[in-house]
């Protein structure tokens, strides 16, 4: 194996929602591979900064609420001012709202779609425009879900958004692959983060889920690092429009 294929030295990755959870795990993994990180968060990402700097990489913090597309131009500008360019974009920020479809509110629909799908698309668009203008390779990694493949229970807007992420990843690849931009997605299985706290605290649902995971355990944020480094690196240059499940075997059942 040529480890240089996975080397991210001198690269810069924008990662949304990396102050905790899966985004933090991927920031740490990319930094270990030599990548500088631009963390886009609503709140401070101090712990992530410490992890990235401990790995010997640089961390730029940008405060932004991706509930709207308004901060996108500034995210790109600040990244370019500080690092000169962005090579990798990981669209990780995401929220979930749980209620029956019969009583689901328009607010819970719009809030989730705005962060999980609309901002993901328009940030990808801004990133792709910059790569094409500067004639540079680019790597887009969208964070999908098991609910990109399955219907889910009591999460209508989340399922719509994550099914949309899988489709949009293919669409981006169809348009941008020939311009040197790889658009792919990672579909995490059931991972122990804030996003799944309600499920893990529900003894019945938690048991049902755990019994169905062939690996026999919830995933951890570090479990995404390998897939993220692969899709961010030259090792995946001919991989386009793919959604890679990192799910302890969930989809194999
Ligand atoms: P998490 O711990 O709740 O992290 C979500 C991240 O998104 C946080 O950093 C959060 O920041 C950020 N975020 C939310 N709304 C935002 C906004 N409006 N603007 C900017 N940042 C915002 O959950 P996670 O599990 O790590 O989730 C990360 C991604 O993985 C999400 O897209 C999620 O849907 C997906 N995913 C998770 C699982 C799982 O089992 N955990 C499975 C499949 C997919 P704040 O602190 O500001 O809220």
Percentage of the chain beyond pLDDT 90 is 97
Q: Is the pTM higher than 0.75?
A: yes
Residue 246 has pLDDT above 90, yes or no: yes
Whole-number Å distance between alpha carbons of 17 and 71:
14
Ligand 1 proximity of 45 Cβ (cutoff 6 Å): no
Query: Alpha-carbon distance 78 to 227, whole Å?
Result: 27
| Cα→Cα distances 175→1, 68, 197, Å | 31, 24, 37
Confidence check: pLDDT of 208 > 60: yes
pLDDT for residue 3: 72
Give yes or no for residue 65 CB within 6 A of ligand 1. yes
For residue 146, with 0-12 CB atoms within 10 Å meaning exposed, 13-18 middle and 19 or more buried, which class applies? middle
**pLDDT reported for residue 64:** 98
Token look-up 């993901």 returns 120
**Each residue's pLDDT tens digit, 20-55:** 999 999 999 999 999 999 999 999 999 999 999 999
In short, whether 186's Cβ falls inside 6 Å of ligand 1 is no
Interhelix angle 46-54/21-32, nearest 10 degrees: 20
| 153 CA from centroid of ligand 1 (Å) | 19
Task: Kindly tell me if the per-residue pLDDT of 1 is higher than 70.
Answer: no
Q: Show the domains of the chain with their CATH numbers.
A: 3-252 (3.40.50.720)
**pLDDT score for 195:** 87
* Contact between residue 39 and residue 61 where contact means Cβ atoms under 8 Å apart: yes
The pLDDT of residue 2 is 56
Ligand 1 centre and the CA of 168: distance in Å?
A: 19
User: What is the pLDDT at residue 228?
Assistant: 98
Q: How much of the chain exceeds pLDDT 70, in percent?
A: 99
Sign of CA dihedral 110, 111, 114, 117: negative
Verify whether ligand 1 is closer than 6 Å to residue 66 (CB atom).
yes
Could you tell me the two tokens for 47?
């712990």
Could you report the per-residue pLDDT of 82-91, keeping only the tens digit for each?
Answer: 999 999 999 9
Span from the CA of 236 to the centroid of ligand 1 (angstroms)? 25
Q: Please give the mean pLDDT across all residues of the chain.
A: 97
Span 119-144, average pLDDT:
98
* Contact call for residues 221 and 24 (beta carbons, < 8 A): yes
Query: Looking at residues 220-238, what average pLDDT do you find?
Result: 98
Atom of ligand 1 nearest to the CA of 147: 43
Average pLDDT over residues 200-207: 93
Per-residue pLDDT at 203: 93
3-class secondary structure per residue, 3-38: HHHHCCCCCEEEEECCCCHHHHHHHHHHHHCCCEEE
The pLDDT score that the predictor gives to residue 122 is 99
Condensed to tens digits (0 to 9), the pLDDT of residues 70-123 reads 999 999 999 999 999 999 999 999 999 999 999 999 999 999 999 999 999 999
* Residue 15: partners with Cβ closer than 8 Å, 6 or more residues away: 23, 26, 27, 30, 37, 38, 39, 40, 90, 92
Task: Please tell me the predicted confidence (pLDDT) of residue 63.
Answer: 98
Matching residue, tokens 């795990």: 25
CA distance 237 to 253: 30
Ligand 1, from 158, 195, 224: best to mutate by most atoms within 8 Å of Cβ? 195
* Distance between CA atoms of residues 157 and 163, nearest Å: 10
Centre of ligand 1 from the C-alpha of residue 107, in Å:
18
Q: What is the position in ligand 1's atom list of the atom closest to the CA of 19? A: 9
């Amino acid at each position: 194996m040529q480890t240089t294929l996975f080397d991210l030295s001198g690269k810069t990755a924008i990662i949304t929602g990396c102050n905790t959870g899966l985004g933090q795990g991927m920031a740490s993994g990319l930094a270990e591979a030599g990548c500088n990180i631009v963390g886009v968060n609503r709140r401070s990402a101090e712990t992530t900064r410490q992890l990235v700097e401990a790995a010997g990489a640089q961390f730029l913090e940008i405060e932004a609420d991706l509930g709207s597309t308004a901060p996108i131009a500034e995210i790109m500008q600040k990244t370019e001012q500080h690092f000169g360019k962005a090579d990798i974009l990981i669209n990780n920020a995401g929220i979930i709202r749980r209620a029956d479809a019969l009583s689901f509110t328009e607010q819970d629909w719009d809030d989730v779609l705005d962060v999980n799908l609309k901002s993901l698309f328009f940030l990808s668009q801004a990133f792709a425009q910059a790569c094409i203008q500067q004639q540079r390779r680019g790597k887009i990694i969208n964070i999908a879900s098991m609910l990109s493949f399955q219907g889910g229970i009591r999460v209508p807007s989340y399922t719509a958004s994550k099914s949309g992420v899988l489709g949009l990843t293919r669409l981006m690849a169809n348009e941008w692959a020939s311009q040197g931009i790889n658009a792919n997605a990672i579909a995490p299985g059931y991972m122990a983060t804030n996003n799944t706290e309600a499920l893990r605290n529900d003894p019945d649902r938690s048991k049902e889920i755990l019994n169905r995971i062939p690996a026999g355990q919830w995933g951890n944020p570090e479990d995404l690092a390998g897939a993220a480094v692969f899709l961010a690196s030259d090792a995946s240059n001919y991989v386009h429009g793919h959604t890679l499940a990192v799910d302890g075997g969930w989809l194999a059942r």
